[in-house]
């Protein structure tokens, strides 16, 4: 790719503001009330953008951060927030039809728009808070035939070797470190960094910054093609969360099958008595505590 300029593309998405203006649900139609939606930048995408800006600041050679997003016209406001945060350039991919729920179709359209940019690194949020599918990052990589590392919390870029080293976040503090050549796609997980505060004067300063327009003419065809190849996934309705069914006793995997059975027969955690109180000699108390811990399977 380009010899001098290191190009980072950050895919962002606008999502309803869950914090200050939470969306309201129309329970009859099974969808959100249109007038209650106020859009902000997706949390995870802000992490990705922050990481891109930090990479740019750390690199000694020239580097450019481009944000790209797919959506209707008012999306430009969201992109200007990204510019205020520190992105060099913003690209708005126009959406002609109805709102697209399906992550893979969005990924296909974004991939089409990203391809001519000849970028070295693509960063995305792990998933959008709206659909929570987490398909866009992987989809973009798939359509561009690039390697993807998902759910990362640490990223090192080596320009000399043209490789990245990314740390994937797993459960219980476990991490997996992967290495792969550039260009590549990474999706960013919570815990990567803390996005910088955007002061109001920067927001005002970038209020009228131009946002490049890209129109993918054949987007309806792409959406149709993805739907026929990958199968349709339609949103039927949105509802309030149901009350979670009563928890079944779940013995830990550290028990043998026979012990698990015993645990389940006894009713497990539901039978536990609240408010046992121990007092007296420390040694005998602690003996009882250890017995309690052992009964519960903690030691």
Partner 1 sequence: MNTEPKNVWVYADYSDNELREVTLELLGEAKRLAQQKGGKVCVLLMGKKVQDLVSPLGYYGADRVYICEDARLPSYHPETYPRIVAQVLTTSSPFLVLFPGTALGNDLACRVSLQLERQFLRNCVNFEIPATGFLHAIRPVYNHRFYSTEVCQLPPFLASVAPGIIGVEKPDLSRHVEEERVVVSVLKEEQTIREEAFIKGDPRTLDLTEADIIVAGGRGLGGPDGFQFLQELADELGGTVGATRPTVDDKWMPFEKQVGQTGKTVRPKLYIACGISGAIQHIMGMRDSGTIIAINTDPDAPIFKVATLAVEGDLYQIVPALIGHIREHKRQPTAKSA
Residues 208-247 that bind partner 1 (CB under 8 A): 229-242, 244-245, 247
Instruction: Please report where in the chains the tokens 């106020």 appear, as a residue.
Output: 38
Burial of 14 (0-12, 13-18, 19+ CB in 10 A): buried
Q: Which of residues 57-116 bind partner 1 (CB under 8 A)?
A: 104
Asked if residue 180 binds partner 1 (CB under 8 A), the reply is yes
Q: How far is the CB of 84 from partner 1 (least distance, A)?
A: 23
**Distance set, CA 167 to CA 98, 221, 252 (Å):** 37, 37, 28
Number of residues that bind partner 1 (CB under 8 A): 92
Binding partner 1 by CB under 8 A: which of 4, 97, 116, 173? 173
Is residue 162 a contact point for partner 1 (CB under 8 A)?
no
Using rule CB under 8 A, residue 3 touches partner 1: no
Listed residue (220, 9, 188) closest to 116, CA to CA: 9
Exposure letters 161-183 (e unless 16+ CB within 10 A, then b) = eeebbbbbbeeeeeeeeeebebb
Q: Is 81 in contact with 126 (CB distance < 8 Å)?
A: no
Nearer to partner 1 among residue 92 and residue 169 (C-beta): 169
Report the residue number, 58 or 176, with the smaller CB distance to partner 1: 176
In angstroms, the CA 100 to CA 107 distance is 11
Stretch that binds partner 1, among 54-62, 67-75, 205-213, 287-295 (CB under 8 A): 287-295
Q: Which of 54, 94, 142, 209 binds partner 1 (CB under 8 A)?
A: 142
* Interface segment toward partner 1; rule CB under 8 A; list 54-62, 198-206, 209-217, 261-269: 261-269
Say if residues 1 and 118 touch (Cβ distance below 8 Å). yes
Closest distance between partner 1 and the C-beta of residue 6, in Å? 20
* 252: contact with partner 1 by CB under 8 A: yes
Is the separation of the CB atoms in 137 and 124 below 8 Å? yes
For partner 1, the closer of residues 62 and 191 by Cβ is 191
Instruction: Report the residue number, 59 or 285, with the smaller CB distance to partner 1.
Output: 285
CA distances from 60 to 65, 238, 279 (A): 15, 48, 65
* Interacting span for partner 1 (CB under 8 A) from 61-69, 73-81, 198-206, 253-261: 253-261
Cβ proximity of 125 and 42 under 8 Å: yes
Closest CA to 181 of 137, 230, 153, 145: 145
Q: Which of 1, 18, 33, 207: binder of partner 1 (CB under 8 A)?
A: 18
- Given the complex with partner 1, which of 79 and 136 has the nearer CB atom? 136
**Contact between 205 and partner 1 per CB under 8 A:** no
In angstroms, the Cα distances linking 247 to 84, 96, 221, 243, 269 are: 47, 46, 46, 11, 9
- Identify which of residues 47 and 104 has a Cβ nearer to partner 1 in the complex: 104
Q: Is 267 in the site for partner 1 (CB under 8 A)?
A: no
Cβ–Cβ < 8 Å for 121, 1: no
> Does 177 sit near partner 1 (CB under 8 A)?
yes
Instruction: Please identify which residue in 97, 217, 254, 271 interacts with partner 1, judged by CB under 8 A.
Output: 254
> Whose CA is closest to 46, among 193, 231, 216?
193
């Amino acid at each position: 790719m380009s010899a001098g300029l290191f190009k980072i593309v950050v895919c962002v998405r606008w999502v309803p503001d869950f914090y200050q203006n939470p969306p309201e649900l129309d329970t009859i139609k099974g969808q959100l009330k249109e007038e209650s939606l106020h859009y902000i930048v997706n949390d995870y995408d802000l992490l990705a953008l922050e990481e891109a800006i930090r990479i740019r600041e750390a690199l000694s050679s020239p580097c450019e951060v481009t944000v790209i997003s797919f959506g209707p016209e008012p999306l430009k406001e969201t992109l200007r927030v990204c510019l205020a945060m520190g992105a060099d350039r913003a690209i708005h991919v126009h959406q002609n039809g109805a709102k697209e729920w399906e992550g893979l179709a969005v990924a296909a359209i974004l991939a089409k728009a990203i391809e001519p940019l000849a970028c070295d690194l693509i960063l995305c949020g792990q998933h959008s808070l709206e659909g929570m599918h987490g398909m866009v990052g992987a989809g973009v990589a798939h359509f561009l035939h690039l390697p993807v590392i998902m759910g990362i919390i640490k990223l090192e870029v080596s320009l000399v070797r043209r490789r990245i080293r990314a740390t994937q976040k797993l459960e219980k503090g476990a991490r997996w470190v992967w290495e792969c050549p550039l260009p590549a796609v990474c999706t960013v997980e919570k815990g990567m960094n803390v996005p910088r505060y955007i002061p109001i004067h920067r927001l005002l300063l970038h209020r009228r910054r131009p946002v490049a327009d890209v129109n993918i003419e054949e987007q309806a065809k792409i959406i149709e093609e993805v739907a026929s190849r990958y199968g349709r996934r339609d949103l039927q309705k949105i509802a309030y969360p149901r009350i979670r069914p009563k928890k079944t006793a779940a013995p830990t995997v550290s028990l043998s099958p026979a012990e698990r059975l015993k645990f389940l027969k006894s009713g497990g955690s539901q039978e536990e008595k609240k408010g046992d109180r121990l007092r007296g000699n420390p040694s005998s108390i602690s003996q009882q505590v250890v017995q309690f811990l052992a009964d519960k399977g903690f030691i």
